Structure 1
Amino acid sequence: MAGGIFAAERQSGFTHLLDPNKKWFNNKRLITLNAWIVLLLITSCTNGYDGSMMNSLQSLPQWKDYFNHPSPSKLGLLNAIQNIGSLAAYPFAPYLSDGIGRRRTVILGASIMLLAAIIQAAAQSVGMFIGARFLIGFGLTFAANAAPMLVSEISYPPYRAPLTATYNSLWNLGAIIAAWTTFGTFRINSTWAWRIPSALQGLPSVLQIFLAWFLPESPRWLVSRGREEQALNTLAYYHADGNPDDPLVQYEFNEIKAAIEFDSNVVANIGWKSLFSTPGNRKRMRIIIAIAIFSQWSGNGIASYYLNQILTDIDITDPTVQLLINGILTIWSLLWALIASGLIDRLGRRLLFLSSTIGVLLAWIAQTVSFAVFWEHGIPAAAHSLIAFIFLFSAAYGLALSPLIVVYTVEILPYHLRAKGFTVFNFTISLALIFNQYTNPIALAHLAWKYYIIYCCWIAFEIVFLYCYVVETKNLTLEETAALFDGKSAIEEITGNGFGSVLHDGQESSKEKDVAQLMEIEDIRRDSQSMTKNA
């Protein structure tokens, strides 16, 4: 097992090509690039805003009165309809991302979400409110499919993983804005108490509609469309101050070209079946589907959408207190997710995934015990400890199950499968969410604390799965990570398709050096397999 861990410590082939003095804060073009990336990252805010807003609205008497105090089943529909809208868009999202490009797909999604937010804020009936939430989910699918891929594909190499991990972390920023907005409008004695938060859900979309036209397009998408000169110029402008002959730019450009040529020459079928057509792809999809499910079935669905019901069950019924707890919890969650995003390349994916799920399990067991003691004996201290353990749970969840799932999914998928594979990931999340949003309020109403025991067993299974199957990918480029899963034959094919022209330390490398460099990645793959067998 140790061999796999040590192998993963090796540095990527581009590391020695980096200027050690070039940082995100002292280079104007990196500052500009990262500003554009922030515009993409806020896509996740819309999703986080939605979950927290719906949680908060359930504490608002104005919202409950206007919609005649929705029953548990109606509440489930109100929460789940956004994900049903997402499901409706999934068949189209990857074709748009690969067809019209990442940037235009983000703009299309933002336009649909802005229209939906306007309808939601103006809702005159529960049906109109449900319809608007369906449209929000429909538009979000397009933006959420393209945005994280574009972040990963344009980032400066050392910052790729932390920035892509920040994408999902900013779910919590959206949740913070929604929680505190609703807390602020709570005292408005009219329907504007919930209409204002509903309208503000469209703010990120407004920014993207007006500014995303100036974003750089993915160099990988440009190469796939035969626009190689534009791809090279994009890499040169943002990664090397406009120098197309820079060794790092040449490395990236030739690596992208070789990988895409390999995809087009070797992979005859790039349809949906190709996601499961090879052993490497099956390994990818097994992990991707699993972490998508784990991200929603680890108990977080209760805290995200039904915190007010839990607080009510432990006799914390004051809407002001409920909204305050929700607002503080969202800030706490964002803090831990951002910390984990910054440490992703130092600690590695395996350590963070395992630490996160073990922490989630321990915190969830503690919540179960506290809830049971209060429910059976009515001890106030048990209710207070439950709140404390909810915060500990949120911190543990933020170590991996929030920030890592998107970056890990994007980086283990090769370019030709990235849009479709990421769609499967989001589709799986939506299915898991719909199940949670329908079952959680009903199960909590009937089983109360006993429902928590089911999650205890499931989270224990998650730990075993992640220990056995997660492969370490830190400090690798997207193309190197693809070779990690596809093995020696893919490496040899890629090295034969253009890596001989990659520059090292300003000198032209021989093909033998390139092969040796990528053979190290094959060693990581082989050691990772050994680690899995030993586990």
Structure 2
Amino acid sequence: MFHTPHFNWYGRGFKLRAAITIACQLAFVLFGYDQGVFSGIVGNEDFLNTFDHPSPGLEGIIVSIYNLGCFTGCILSFMFCEKTGRRLAMWIAMVWIIVGGALQTRIGTGIETSTVPMYQSELCEANKRGRLVASEPLFVGVGIELAYWFDYGMSFTEGSIAWRLPIACQVIFAIIVIVLVFGLPESPRYLYAHGRHEEALQILCDVYDGTPDDPTIEKENREVLEALQVEREHGEYKWSQLLKKDRVQTRRRVLLAYGAQFMN
């Protein structure tokens, strides 16, 4: 278990919830930008000359390997991010993306897209959880749109800057998210799961700007502890249980997630 630095820059209540939402949505703008930026680059003459005019097959591999990097990041997130915590996982993802801006690897994007929705859902009101998490694909679209227009604008320039600058600019989003996360709290659910109960309760009080006996905080506190108790009773999930119909609706949740990604 890792303890990451936390500076309370955003205060309590609405300002803190807004900062959490902005950081999560900006991470998905970055995801969309990553998805869209290469489409306007592969036809650039300087890019083609630099890489010796790759064949259509190789060009397809260059573009589609993005998804392989994302898949690798998702697997790494599944294996390690419960140990690192949500905030450290987001930092790792952003640093990897910064390195990837130079080396053009995409593993960080997979870690980011696996961790950010979970972090968002664990730090927002239950009646807004679905809307906030479901809005993240909208911000993927915003990122794609930014990438398309940026690529289009750079197509009027000459030389390597026309394709190097759009690739490099993904680093800007990653740096902003890194800075924002320094002022954000860890997920209370993660803290409860690792025995840091007092810290988790304090974060709930900060997020909802109340005291431990506030009805909203009592409800969130109770629901998190009940969910963790259910998980302990069932033991660690196995791959064979992914489509199991149980009290926490595992099958329904998995199929909803698969369906959303399939349509995407």
TM-score w.r.t. length of structure 1: 0.44
The reply to whether residue 41 of structure 1 matches residue 22 of structure 2 is no
Task: Show the counterpart of 1:212.
Answer: 181
Classify the secondary structure of the residue corresponding to 1:215: coil
Classify the secondary structure of the residue corresponding to 1:209: helix
The reply to whether residue 92 of structure 1 matches residue 76 of structure 2 is yes
Decide whether the 8 Å contact of 2:19 with 2:184 is kept in 1. Answer: no
Q: Which residue among 140, 151, 158 is the counterpart of 2:109?
A: 140
Task: Show the counterpart of 1:149.
Answer: 118
Matches within 5 A, 1:2-151: 29-119=13-103, 132=104, 135=105, 137-151=106-120
> CA, structure 1 residues 158+282, in 2 after alignment: closer, same or farther (shift >3 Å)?
closer
Q: Which residue among 159, 167, 185 is the counterpart of 2:128?
A: 159
Point out the more displaced range, 273-282 or 141-150.
273-282
Classify the secondary structure of the residue corresponding to 1:244: coil
Paired letter, 1:272: W
Classify the secondary structure of the residue corresponding to 2:186: coil
Measure the CA separation in 2 of the matches of 1:49 and 1:205. 11
> CA, structure 1 residues 214+273, in 2 after alignment: closer, same or farther (shift >3 Å)?
farther
The reply to whether residue 197 of structure 1 matches residue 181 of structure 2 is no
More helix by share: 1
Residue 277 of structure 1 deviates from its aligned partner by 4.4
Residue 169 of structure 1 deviates from its aligned partner by 1.1
> CA, structure 1 residues 92+28, in 2 after alignment: closer, same or farther (shift >3 Å)?
closer
Task: Show the counterpart of 2:242.
Answer: 275
Measure the CA separation in 2 of the matches of 1:294 and 1:176. 19
Residue 112 of structure 1 deviates from its aligned partner by 0.6
Q: Which residue among 155, 160, 181 is the counterpart of 1:186?
A: 155
The reply to whether residue 251 of structure 1 matches residue 235 of structure 2 is no
Paired letter, 2:147: A
Decide whether the 8 Å contact of 1:102 with 1:218 is kept in 2. Answer: yes
Paired letter, 1:108: I
Classify the secondary structure of the residue corresponding to 1:104: helix
Decide whether the 8 Å contact of 2:36 with 2:148 is kept in 1. Answer: yes
Point out the more displaced range, 269-278 or 157-166.
269-278
Residue 294 of structure 1 deviates from its aligned partner by 2.5
Measure the CA separation in 2 of the matches of 1:118 and 1:102. 25
Question: Identity percentage over the alignment?
Answer: 25
Residue 116 of structure 1 deviates from its aligned partner by 1.1
Residue 68 of structure 1 deviates from its aligned partner by 3.5
Task: Show the counterpart of 2:5.
Answer: none
Cα deviation, 1:443-499, whole Å, max 9, x if unaligned, reads: xxxxxxxxxxxxxxxxxxxxxxxxxxxxxxxxxxxxxxxxxxxxxxxxxxxxxxxxx
Task: Show the counterpart of 2:3.
Answer: none
How many pairs were matched up? Answer: 252
Paired letter, 1:70: P
Measure the CA separation in 2 of the matches of 1:229 and 1:177. 42
> CA, structure 1 residues 243+147, in 2 after alignment: closer, same or farther (shift >3 Å)?
same
Cα deviation, 1:314-345, whole Å, max 9, x if unaligned, reads: xxxxxxxxxxxxxxxxxxxxxxxxxxxxxxxx
Decide whether the 8 Å contact of 1:42 with 1:167 is kept in 2. Answer: no
Paired letter, 1:211: L
Paired letter, 1:273: S
Measure the CA separation in 1 of the matches of 2:129 and 2:94. 23
The reply to whether residue 262 of structure 1 matches residue 262 of structure 2 is no
Measure the CA separation in 1 of the matches of 2:218 and 2:35. 43
Q: Which has the larger radius of gyration?
A: 1
Decide whether the 8 Å contact of 1:57 with 1:182 is kept in 2. Answer: yes
> CA, structure 1 residues 291+177, in 2 after alignment: closer, same or farther (shift >3 Å)?
closer
Decide whether the 8 Å contact of 2:74 with 2:110 is kept in 1. Answer: yes
Q: Choose between structure 1 and 2 for higher RCO, CA contacts under 8 A separated by at least 6 residues.
A: 2
Classify the secondary structure of the residue corresponding to 1:189: coil
Measure the CA separation in 2 of the matches of 1:103 and 1:261. 23
Decide whether the 8 Å contact of 2:33 with 2:140 is kept in 1. Answer: yes
Task: Show the counterpart of 1:126.
Answer: none
Matches within 5 A, 1:247-396: 247-265=215-233, 267-278=234-245, 280-295=249-264
Residue 35 of structure 1 deviates from its aligned partner by 1.7
Classify the secondary structure of the residue corresponding to 1:264: helix
Residue 220 of structure 1 deviates from its aligned partner by 1.1
Paired letter, 2:124: S
Measure the CA separation in 2 of the matches of 1:209 and 1:31. 18
Q: Which structure 1 residue ranges, 5 or more long, are not aligned?
A: 1-26, 120-131, 296-535
Q: Which structure 2 residue ranges, 5 or more long, are not aligned?
A: 1-10
> CA, structure 1 residues 36+268, in 2 after alignment: closer, same or farther (shift >3 Å)?
closer
> CA, structure 1 residues 179+283, in 2 after alignment: closer, same or farther (shift >3 Å)?
closer
Paired letter, 2:128: Y
> CA, structure 1 residues 148+87, in 2 after alignment: closer, same or farther (shift >3 Å)?
same
Q: Which residue among 194, 205, 223 is the counterpart of 1:225?
A: 194
